[in-house]
A and B are shown apart, each in its own frame.
Chain A
Amino acid sequence: MYANKILLAEDDTTDAEFFQRALSRLDSPPELVWCKSGTEAYLGLTGQDDASALPRLAILDIKMPGMNGLELLEKIKSDERTKNLPVIIMSSSDEPQDIARAYDCGANGYLVKPNRFQDLRDLVGSIHTFWIKTNRLKPLHD
C-alpha cells in the first residue's frame, strides 16, 4: 500500500547525509526522500492524490527555517490524507519541554540526535526494524 520510502525533513545537509549513510548500511534499505524544509515536505506529502505514494514514515527535525518541524507535524496530523502517517521528531534538544511539546502535537516518537555516528546507525536500525518492517505486516490505518 505504501511505498518503501522514508521522508526526512532536515535543513542541515550534514545531518541529512549522516542519516542517508546510516540508512544505506541496512539490508534492503528503504528509499530516502529528503526535503530541505518543512514547506517542501508538506507539499510533497499532500501534492498527490495517490495514497500509495505516501512514505511509510516521516522523520522531522524541529528547528527549520520557515515551517518548523512541529508546525509540519500538526499539519500532517490534522490532514485526513496524512493523519495516519507515523511521524518521528528528531532533534538535538533533550529539553523535557521540547519532548513534551512534540508528543502534544501528535508525534509518534521523539529521538535525540546522537552525537556519535555509531549511535545514529544503531538508532536508524531500530527505527527501520520497528516502523518499517513491523508495520509492513500490520498496516497502520484502520
Chain B
Amino acid sequence: MQINHDPVARSVREVYPYRVDLENCDHEPLRHIQVVQAFACLIAADAGSLTVRYVSENTDRYLGIDWQDIIDQPLSRIFSRDLIEQIGLGLSREDGFESLNPIQTFFRIDGQQSLKNVIVHRDGSRILLEIENATEDLQTSGYQQLLARAVARIQNISNHDRLFTETATIIRQLTGYDRVMVYRFDKDYNGEVIAEALADDLEPFFGLHYPHTDIPKQARELYLKNRVRLISDISQSPSRVHSSEAVTDEYLDLTMAGSRGVSPIHLEYLGYMGVNNSLSVAIVLGDRLWGLFALHHYSPKNVDYALRNLLQFIGQIFSGHLSLQAAGRYREQTLTRNLVRLAIGEHITKTRDLFTGLLEGKYTLLNIFNDTTGAVINFEGRQETKGETPPMEDILGLIDWVNNNGVDHDSLIYSNDSVSRDYPAFAPHCDIAAGVMIIYFNPDHADWICWFRPGLTRKITWGGKPEKEEILSREGTRRLGPRRSFQRYVETMEGCSAPWQQAEIDAAYTLRITIINSMIQHYAEVKQINERLKKAYEDLETFSYTVSHDLRAPLRAINGYAEILEEEFREVLTDDARTLIMGIQRGVDQMNTFITDILELSRVGSGGLKLSPVDVAPLVSEVVNESRPVYAREEDFAVRVDKDLPPVVADRRLLRQLYTNLISNALKYMQADEDGSLGIAVGYRRPEEGFEPTIYTVSNTGPGIEDEYRDTIFQMFSRISSNSKTEGTGIGLAIVERIVSRHNGKVWVTNDGLGVTFNFYLDPENQHTFDSDGRDRVSGAA
C-alpha cells in the first residue's frame, strides 16, 4: 500500500533515531526511543555529581526553565534544597526512590505556584527525574482509602469466573476510563479479551483475539520491568531528549521512565482504533507476563502518578489472588490425578496384571487426563485399547513415525496437540485423535501407552485480520505499518486438540514411574515365589530319595539281622526271645508302611498330571481285589461296587492311589452296625442338574464321624483316635485330599450311606467332554 501523507511517521521521524522497516521490526529498540511524551518532562543526571546530562525539550512547561539552561548544570541550580535533600536520601536508601515517589514540589511557572510530582529512578550511574502535573484535590489519604476498598473487593471474589469481570468493573470505577479490559496471553502470546467493563455506548471487545504481533516481544519485556504504561493523549507531539556533549554513550535508556516515548507504529495503531489515552498494567504470574489490564479512553485524560501507582498495586494484588486460585486448582487437579495414579498402581499390584490394572479398575487410563477419547497399551507385543481409538494398524504406524522422527532418541515421553500437522497420515483420525501423548516404559521405546485427545473445531474471532501491513512511502522506503483493519475476522482452526498442559505431561511421567514400580514389585514377587517353589520341589525330591534309600537301609539291617537271628539260632532261642524278635519285625513293618505312605504323598505333589478319561468301575474292582485280603478278618463282610460307575477325566495313577486309600480306610475302620451288617460300598451320586460333576462315594458301616473331625481328618498325621486298635499312619486321607485338590476337586465326609461316606468330585471343567452317560462327546468313546 502506498500513502502520500503519513503524519505520524513524519512527526516522529525527526526525533526517532531508527528507521523501523520490515528488515528490523523484531528488534525495534523501544527503550532507546529518545523522546518523552508530553505529559512530563525528563532530566537525567549523573548519580555522583548530580550534573544534568540529558534533558527533554519541554522543561519550560513544567519547570519554567528552558532545556538549554538545564543541560550540564548541577541539579542544585534547578531544584530547591528540599528536593535535593530528598534525592540524596533516595540515593542512600537501599530501596532507592520507591517509597519516596512521587516527591511533591511547587514550581514557579509564569509567576504562578504550580504543584508537580517529581518521580525519580536510579538506573546505574544515572538518575532519571520526571516532572509531571500533580492533581491537587486527590490527597494521598484519599488514594489509600480507594486502594484499601478495591483490594478488599478483589480479594473477596472467590468465584474464579467472576474474578475478571468484577476486577475490570472495580478498576473502571476507580479510574473513570471508558473501557477496561482484562487481556490474557496464550502460550504464544496471542491475546484474548476475557473480561471487560465499558461505557454503555461502546462496542464490546469481549472475546476478541489479538495476534502476538500487537504486543511484540520487546514491549512485553518492558512490561516485566516497568509494570504500568501510560500513553497519554496521542494527539500531542512528544518532546525530544537532548544529550550533553559530555556523554559518550549514544542513547539514554528510558526503560524506567514512565513518560518514555511511544513507538510510532503503536501510536499509529492506537490512532486507527480511535483511542486517545491508553493505560496498561502488567499482570505477572511467576516470571511470565500472564496478561494486562488494558484501559482505553477515547478523549484526553489526566492520570495522576498516584493513580498509576495504585493500579500497579492492584495488578500485584490481582496476580497474587490469581496465582493463589491457580495454585488451588492445580493442587486440586494434581491431587485427583495422584489419587487416580495411586489407585491404578495398586490395582496393577493387586491383579498382578498390567492390562487389567490399567484398563479394568474403578479408575483407568482414561481418568488420568480430561478430554481423552481413548488409549492404547502396548506391552510385550500385546495391544489393548480402551475407549475410542483409531484402528490398531494406524496407531502402530503413528508410533513408528514418532519413534523415528518425533521423539528424541532416549526420551520417555512425547506429546503433540496437533499430530496430523507433523504426521499427515493421521489426519483422517482428527476427530478422535488430534492430540496424542505417549509414554515409553523403557528408552528402547518397545513398550508404551498412548492417549488420544479429540480434535476441536475452534473459532477464533480476531479483532481484525492478524497481519501487519507493509507500507510503501512516497520516498520509496518500505516500513512496517500496524494493522489498520479492526473488522472482526473469524478464523476456524481444525486438527488441534486441547493442549497438553505441563501438569499433564508431568502426570503421565509419574504414572510411568508408578506403573514400572508396580510391575517391578509384581515381577519381583512372582520371581521370588517361583524360586521358593523350585527350591521346595527340589527339597521334596531330595526328601523322597532320602526316604526311599537312606531310611530303608537301616530298616533292612534291623529286619535282616532279626530274621537271621531267629532262623540260625532257632534251637537255642526261648519262646520269650522269639516273641521279642517278632516285636522288632512288627516295628520294622510299621516303619516301612510309614515310609511308603510318605513317598506316595510326596509323589502326589510333584510331576505333571497326565489327564485321560478313566473307566472307574474296573479300576475300583482291581483295587478291591488287592486290598480285601490285607484287611481280612474273622467276620464275613460285604464289598459292593456299583458296576456303572461313570468314567472320569483324571490322572490314572493318582486316581488308583485315591481309591486305594479310600477303600483301605473304609475296610480298616468299618464296624458292624446295629443290624449286624458289616461292609463297604463304592458308588456315586448322579449329578443333580446340567453339568454338575458326578460325586463318587466310598462308604462303610460304622458310627458317623463327629462334626469337629470332619475337616481335620484330611490333615497330615491326624487320626481320630490315638488308642484305636487299627493301625495307620494318618497319611492316607491326607494323600486323598492332595490328589483331589491337584485335580481341582473337593473331598468331604458325610454320615450317610452305610454309616460313613467319603465323597469326592474332580475338576468339573475337565469333565465337560463327557455327558451324563459317561460317553466322550468328542471321540464317542466311553
Contact = CB atoms under 8 A, between A and B. Distances in A.
A72 to B, nearest CB: 17
Given A115-B559, A115-B588, A117-B559, A92 B564 contact: no
Contacts, number: 42
B549 interface: yes
Interface stretch (B251-259, B266-274, B457-465, B550-558): B550-558
B133 interface: no
Given A18-B556, A115-B588, A93 B545 contact: yes
Interface in B649-703: none
Interface in A35-88: 63
A61 to B, nearest CB: 10
B31 to A, nearest CB: 93
A28 interface: no
Nearest to A120: B560
Contacts of A93: 545, 548-549
A115 B591 CA distance: 11
A14 B556 contact: yes
Contacts of A117: 559-560, 563-564, 567
Q: Is chain B's interface secondary structure helix, strand, loop, or mixed overall? A: helix
A63 B549 contact: yes
Interface in B398-437: none
A91 B545 CA distance: 12
B592 interface: yes
Contacts of B557: 14
Interface residues of B, number: 16
A12 B556 CA distance: 11
Contacts of B552: 92, 113, 115
Contacts of B545: 93
Contacts of B592: 115
Given A93-B548, A93-B549, A15 B556 contact: yes
A42 to B, nearest CB: 22
Contact of B556 (A21, A91, A94, A113): A113
Contacts of A92: 548-549, 552-553, 556
Most chain B CB neighbours (cut-off 10 Å) among A18, A91, A114: A18
A141 interface: no
Nearest to B565: A117
A14 B548 contact: no
Contacts of B549: 63, 91-93
Nearest to B588: A115
Nearest to A21: B564
Contact of B563 (A91, A95, A116): A116
B559 A14 contact: no
A118 B564 CA distance: 9
Contacts of B544: 95
7 contacts: A15-B556, A18-B556, A94-B548, A115-B556, A117-B559, A117-B567, A118-B563
Interface of A: 12, 14-15, 18, 21, 63, 91-95, 113-118, 120
Q: Which 10 residue pairs of A and B lie closest in terms of their CB atoms, listed nearest first?
A: A117-B563, A117-B560, A14-B557, A92-B552, A18-B560, A92-B549, A93-B548, A115-B592, A63-B549, A115-B556
